[in-house]
Every structure is written in C-alpha cells, then in structure tokens.
Structure 1
Amino acid sequence: MLIRLGFEIAYRFLQPTPMVVMLDIHGSRSHDIVDLQPLSTWPLLPTRQFRDAFGNTCTRLVAPAGLLMLTADAVVRDSGLPDRQAPDAMQMPVEALPDETLVFLRASRYCETDVLMQYAWDRFGHIPPGWARVQAICDHVHEAIEFGYHHADPTRGALRALEEGRGVCRDFAHAAVALCRCMNIPARYCTGYLGDIGIPPVDAPMDFSAWFEAWLDGDWYTFDARHNTPRIGRVLIARGRDAADVAISSTFGPNTLERFQVWTDETRQPLLAAPGEAAGLALAG
C-alpha cells in the first residue's frame, strides 16, 4: 500500500532565531519512499543536516524575524500489515544485553525509573518475563491514563501521567517506557506518522504520534500503550530515550506557533500538491 504523509507548520519570531528541527522520515524507511518533496522553508533559507547520537536526521537553520513556514510531502510504500507480533519473545537477562541497548534501561528526563521502581515490581513482578510482561505494562498504562488533547503538558513525565491519570500519546509512551525499564527491559521512545488506516476515521485533527519499542529476544518490537492494539501504517521519524531526544523543533528564542497541520492517508496517487498548500499560501501572504 501507499501512504501520503507530510506537514505544514508555521512559527512567528520576534527576531532571527536559531532552530533545530527533526521532521525527516527516519533513515530506516528511506528505501520505502516512492515520491518526496523534502523539508522546505518559506522564506527560502539555508539549512544543514546532521545525524544525532540516535541516528535521527536533524536540520539546522536560523529563522528570520516574522513568519517561518516548514513544509514537506511524501508518498511512502508500506506493507499494509499491522505491527509485528511475537507472543513467545523472551526477555533477555541484563548481562546478555548488547551494549547499545543499555542506555534504554536508564532513567531519562521524562522516564523516572528511580521513583517508579517499586510501583513497577509490585504490579508486574509476577508476570512472566518477556512479551507477556510488556503487554501487561501496556494494558495497565492504557487503563490508567485517560487520553485527551486538552491534557497536553510538555513538562509532564511518566510519574505525573500515572498519578494524574491523564495525558496525550507521549504520556502513554513515557509511562510504558519507564515501567519497562524498571523491569529491566530496554525500551525506547518513538515518534512519527500514524494515520487512521484500517480503523474507523477519528474525528480529531491529525497529529504526529508517539509509541515505543521494547528489546526482546534480540530484536526491537513495536508497542503502543495508547491504542493498545496492532496498527497499520506507522512511519517513523525519530527514536530516543524520551520526547526530549526527539522534539520536532527546538527553538533558541521566543516564538509563537501559528499553524500546525499533519496528513497521513492511504493513497493511490503520486504527489501533486500538498493537502495544505492553498491554506499555507494564504497564510504566507
């Protein structure tokens, strides 16, 4: 199947301001890109790309005073299959874990394993280690947190999400990641596109999504505590320890977000014009 995806984001700045944005499709999906209008700016600005410590593509630029628009559009080939399932996948003992997975066992900005350790072992210590334990964590987080866009809070970590019982997709991911790490299961935070493919349409604006991956039986497997069911059509943008590592934009000065539109839909057509192009041109004018 083919998926049409992209975004149109506009910021307003008081003065020239350096930025780092993380909006490119992850390199692991580059071979699936069928058609691409890469990240572009209005007004046209010089940009420079680099790879961060987790292999994500980052773009540096200096936003001018006034309006800045960021846009991209792509068609990506996808298997059309739901998230891979491996119910028999086993948890590896810590001493057998690859060195590169150990960073995903440690506490991070939004995943406070030190204060959640007892909470996790009280609830999941009796669950057989492996897939069943990760799924039990997802089930618990799915039930413990109420989803709502009005619950968004960029300062909330896993502990507060579980205490308050509310949040957005990043909070579900942070809580599940933290609890997995408490149980000695490497877990990493993921962000990307996830459209309403294979499910009834959702009456809410499209947004980027957050999920996580857990290391079991020598491989990374996708889990999603918010939806808590295998989904079709995930397209990764970035991975890291938590949301602090994969912010879509880091601005080094004050600004106002004026427009945010994301699209992710099944398609049979090549790129013609971005779904938000007409509105974007009006805003730019």
Structure 2
Amino acid sequence: MPLAPAPLTLAVGCVFDVDAPAPVSAVLQVAPAADPALAVRSERWDGPDAHHAYLDGYGNRCERFMVPAGRSRIAYSAEVVLAAPHDAIDPAAAETPIMYVADDHLRYVMPSRFCLPDELGTEAWERFGDLAPGWSRVQAVVDFVHGHLEFTPGGSNPWTTSSDALRAGQGVCRDFAHLAIAFCRALNIPARYVFGYIPNIGVPEPPEAMDFAAWFEVHLDGRWHTFDARNNTPRTGRVVVGRGRDAVDVALITSFGALGLEGFEVIAEPAAAGAGAAG
C-alpha cells in the first residue's frame, strides 16, 4: 500500500503598490480558497484600514477595500499546509454523458465571456471527437493547447478570448486555460477556470518573476480533476485562490473607479522553519 504524501507547508502572498486619483472601492481575490485538504496556519492583511471579507457566488474568498486617494500598498501573506501537495493523476477517470451531467455543472459546459465552445465546436470535434472519452481525451486537449500556444508575456490582453488565443498562437497562462476549457466544453465535458499560487518545486527556476498561475479543472467520474495546459506536467504545491467559468469570475483585483498599479509581487515558496504570518 503506497504511503500517503507528506504535508507541505508554504508561504504565499502578494504585494500591490497602487495609486488612486480619488478614493475608490476595490475587491481583491488573493487569499487561498477554503479546502478540506488545506489548512491556513496564519494570515495577514496590511494596507488601508477600511476592508472586510466576503464570499462570492462561487465560494471564493474576497477582500473588499476602500482605497484612499494617493499611493497605497496592499499586502497579503499566509502560511498554509497542504495535506496532498502533488497533482493527482487518474487515467481511468471516465466522462459523464451530457444527459447525466448535474444541473449545477451545466454552466461549465456553456459559453462564457472568454471561453467560447460555440465558436470552437467544429474544430474540437474534428480534432478530439474520435478519441476515447475520458481522461485521455482531456489530456489530448491539453497536449494540443500546450503545443499550439507559445507562452509569451504580454502576448495577449485582458480582452483576449479562447478563439483569439487559438488564432494568435500565443498567450499567457490564462489563455492556455481558456482555450483548453473551450475545447472541453465543446466536447460536452464540464470544465472550470482556476487560478492561484504554484511554487517552483521540483522544476527549473523560470526566467520570469513569480506570478499567479491559471489552470483548469474538469469533471470526470463524479469529481473535479486538475489539468494544466501551460505547464503540462504534474506540479507540487498548488494553492487554489479562485474558481469560476473563466477569468472574469476570479479577477485578481477589481476596482470600481481609476486605480493604477505601480508595483506587484507574488510569493509562493516552502515556508522557513518556524516562520508564520501573524494573524
């Protein structure tokens, strides 16, 4: 019988340096999502005093700030423990025929702002329709997207859709996720967008600075499974921040007025022994 993986303790967080010409309300989604396999040992917000937490319609943790005029720094830090830190692989996972997909999962088969299965349906069925349904077909989608798109910082914009990314052949991690989700939905496989922290554990250090990452989950055999078209390899230490239909539902920061981003930093790394964020 295989041994259970050892828990992994991580330090995660981020810093925003912002500039507002006038007081503005803003919502941040950067705190880890509630999960039975994740324990938050400690966490801390630093920044404007006027803020409070709430859960959005997808159960994501949000923090709503009143940002004063001028320059401000908003920082979040946490120490978390992952009980199962490695991506789970289940090649035997089967698809659920669309007539049996749960009613509340149908929204993850329908088009959304950035994921357009209605536009990509013909191509999806031509490329993947003859493949055996289940995990292997989803992996074939991931393999195609990973090979077709070139990871290019600045290669897309906040309005780039899955169809735009397919035509451009480039993008950032959210574009990889959006395109893979659109193909899966076109095949009647429920798929949802996920973003969060991924530390560089067991992989070469990338040339770009640490940032938030986007991947996706597919519903197979009665539960959600993790897939990552950007990295296309199992990773250790994923910390989910938010889930939704696409990036619109889990925006990193939403401001209800002008708010300039002057500086940005993300942290995701094994926690130092004895360290912890004061709560």
Percent identity between matched residues is 39
Residue from 254, 257, 275 that aligns with 1:253: 257
Alignment of 1:58-69 (within 5 A): 58-69=62-73
Alignment of 1:136-285 (within 5 A): 136-271=140-275
Aligned to 2:257, the other structure's residue is in SS state coil
Q: Could you tell me how far 1:269 is from its partner in structure 2?
A: 2.1
Q: Where does structure 2 lack aligned partners over 5 or more consecutive residues?
A: 1-7
Q: Could you tell me how far 1:179 is from its partner in structure 2?
A: 0.5
Q: Where does structure 1 lack aligned partners over 5 or more consecutive residues?
A: 275-285
Structure 1 stretches (4+) deviating beyond 3 angstroms? 270-274
Residue from 21, 25, 38 that aligns with 1:18: 25
- How many pairs does the alignment contain? 271
In 1, Cα distance between equivalents of 2:99 and 2:37: 34
Aligned to 2:77: 73
TM-score, with length taken from structure 1: 0.91
Alpha-carbon distance change, 267 to 45 in structure 1, aligned in 2, over 3 angstroms: closer
Aligned to 1:40: 46
Residue range with higher mean Cα deviation, 56-65 or 8-17: 56-65
* 1:74/1:271 contact within 8 Å kept: no
Please tell me the residue identity of whatever aligns with 1:40: D
In 1, Cα distance between equivalents of 2:108 and 2:203: 31
In 1, Cα distance between equivalents of 2:34 and 2:119: 35
Alpha-carbon distance change, 29 to 196 in structure 1, aligned in 2, over 3 angstroms: farther
Q: Could you tell me how far 1:29 is from its partner in structure 2?
A: 5.8
In 1, Cα distance between equivalents of 2:190 and 2:116: 14
Residue from 27, 30, 41 that aligns with 2:34: 27
TM-score, with length taken from structure 2: 0.93
Q: Could you tell me how far 1:203 is from its partner in structure 2?
A: 2.2
Alpha-carbon distance change, 221 to 273 in structure 1, aligned in 2, over 3 angstroms: closer
Aligned to 1:282: none
- Give RMSD over aligned pairs: 1.6
> Is 1:117 the equivalent of 2:121?
yes
